[in-house]
Amino acid sequence: MGARTDTRERILAIAEGQLMSVGYAGLHFQDIADALGVQPPAVHWHFRTKASLALAVIGAYGAKFDAWAATVEPLDARARLEAYLAVGRHVVAMGRSCALGMLLAQYETVPTDVREAALEVQRRILAFYTDNLHQAREAGALAFEGEAADKAVEVGCAVVGAQQLARALGAHAYDRVAAQIRRDLNFSEAR
């Protein structure tokens, strides 16, 4: 990997961390430059604007989600949902929140193209939830009332909200919400 590509990837990693910690409003080229030990123009060379940087982070975030979803594809639907709860717990262990959740929490202050890109990735994640909830219910591995798409929104909101609570109350808050999600889906009773 060339130096430019490596620097670009490092910028994206730092920016993703900032989005997960402080959201779009807290994304600053100076902070990224400081973390890299360079001057801000070096960051601007790769990304001219804050919006272009955020769009690149969202694109990379979506690609990581797609790659992760492909790795859990061989698992049964219930195991895929459990794996997603584990990803959410990993984010909590890092002391962060979902980057998309942070962006969407600042919905009105985020540029339209950044907002639309975040929503597109969020829709893919909700489709993942919906498909897996539907498949797991059809297989008798989970039980819940209502439409799978509605339950997917509920689960997604619960996971992102639990990550936010965990930042203030500790990781046990996420664990309690994840346990409630399992109860609501009848993880222990279905099969």
pLDDT tens per residue across span 94-128: 999 889 888 888 989 999 999 999 999 999 999 99
**Tokens 């039980």 label which residue?**
143
Burial classification of residue 93, based on how many CB atoms lie within 10 Å of its CB (0-12 exposed, 13-18 middle, 19 or more buried): exposed
- In this predicted structure, the answer to whether residue 1 has a pLDDT above a threshold of 60 is no
User: What average pLDDT score do residues 76-90 get?
Assistant: 92
Tokens of 57: 């982070």
Give the CA angle between residues 77, 153, 97 to the nearest 5°: 90
- In this predicted structure, the answer to whether residue 78 has a pLDDT above a threshold of 90 is no
**In this structure, is the dihedral angle defined by the CA atoms of residues 44, 46, 51 and 53, taken in order, positive or negative?**
negative
**In this structure, is the dihedral angle defined by the CA atoms of residues 105, 108, 112 and 114, taken in order, positive or negative?**
negative
Mean pLDDT of the chain, nearest integer: 92
Q: What is the pLDDT of residues 150-171, one digit of tens each?
A: 999 999 999 999 999 999 999 9
Q: What is the pTM of this model?
A: 0.88
**In this structure, is the dihedral angle defined by the CA atoms of residues 62, 65, 71 and 72, taken in order, positive or negative?**
negative
**Cα 1 from Cα 14, distance rounded (Å):** 18
**Cα 3 from Cα 179, distance rounded (Å):** 44
Q: What is the pLDDT of residues 18-36, one digit of tens each?
A: 999 999 999 999 999 999 9
**Cα 185 from Cα 169, distance rounded (Å):** 25
Domains of the chain: 57-184 (1.10.357.10)
